[in-house]
Structure 1
Amino acid sequence: MSIWWSLHLRREAASVPLARRLLIGTMETAGVDPEISYDLSVALSEACANAVEHGGPGASGGVSEAYRVTAYLDGEKCRIEVADSGPGLARVPEVRPARPDAEHGRGLCLIRELADHVHIGAKPGRGGTVVSFDKALKWRKDAPLMAV
């Protein structure tokens, strides 16, 4: 069985836990292993926080007020995309571990550690950035929606 959902969220800090709770609730209801759910929810929180903080003025010069989160659970893996409408990336940032005392700069590194595959790129056509990542799913023995 496949499940997918998409949210359009305001670029406000309060939107981050909303997206995280929806993802955790979806995976818990479907029967995904709690450790996998936790890893993906932390990665999602980091991607959303980046969209809120860095998804600044769009190509039209105005401030983009929203970003989009889409999650796909297909039985074998979960894929998550977070897309903003900011100016986009001139180049994909090099992801290096942050200094231990740094207050910022850990998000992309954490996402890379928690997910199996990560892609960071420009949104086609209209500008903006898309962070997408996926992880193989493990299921609880009593999972109601596990693929057969």
Structure 2
Amino acid sequence: MSIWWSLHLRREAASVPLARRLLLGTMETAGVDPDVSYDLSVALSEACANAVEHGGDAARGRSSEAYRVTAYLDGEKCRIEVTDSGPGFSGGTPTARPARADAEHGRGLCLIRELADHVHIGSKPGRGGTVVSFDKILKWREDAPLIAV
């Protein structure tokens, strides 16, 4: 089985639950274990929230740019990519530092790394912007209609 979809979303807070609901619906329909679906939906929400908050390029007057979410369910793995058009990262890949216990921000990358099996965070070469991609091995419900064979 192979399923993929891609969304082009405005950098607005309302886009985050839309992406999350689409992912959860796709996984439920395919028969993915609910715990795996939940982990991926939380990781997706964090990646989308980062794109909404940090993904614009205000220096170039592009503060209302869109971002893209692509999800691939292929065989026994799900890969999700969130790409924005912000300034990207200078000095290489960002490190996820634990946030203070009373912090209201700064936990997103740590959560994504905890919930996914493999995570890659980087800048788009030459154009700026950030790509957050993560994978997770899928588990299936016993009654899954679309189990990979």
Shorter chain as denominator, the TM-score bin is over 0.9
* Aligned counterpart, 1:133: 134
RMSD: 1.3
TM-score by length of 2: 0.95
Query: 3-state SS of the aligned residue for 1:87?
Result: coil
Deviation at 1:66, TM superposition (A): 0.2
Counterpart amino acid of residue 111 in structure 1: I
Query: 3-state SS of the aligned residue for 2:136?
Result: strand
- Percent identity of the aligned residues? 86
The total of aligned residue pairs comes to: 148
Deviation per residue, 1:48-67 (Å, 9 max, x gap): 00000000217844324200
Query: 3-state SS of the aligned residue for 1:118?
Result: strand
* Aligned counterpart, 1:68: 68
TM-score by length of 1: 0.96
Moved over 3 A (4+): 58-61
Moved more, 63-72 or 10-19: 63-72
Query: 3-state SS of the aligned residue for 1:81?
Result: strand
CA contact (8 A) 1:7 1:69 kept: yes
In 1, distance between residues paired with 2:59 and 2:87?
6
Query: 3-state SS of the aligned residue for 2:16?
Result: helix
Query: 3-state SS of the aligned residue for 2:51?
Result: helix
Counterpart amino acid of residue 17 in structure 2: P
Deviation at 1:124, TM superposition (A): 3.0
Query: 3-state SS of the aligned residue for 1:8?
Result: strand
- Structure 2: 5+ residue stretches without partners: none
Deviation at 1:106, TM superposition (A): 0.2
Counterpart amino acid of residue 144 in structure 1: P
Query: 3-state SS of the aligned residue for 2:26?
Result: helix
Q: Is 1:143 the counterpart of 2:144 in the alignment?
A: yes
In 2, distance between residues paired with 1:78 and 1:105?
25
* Aligned counterpart, 1:27: 27
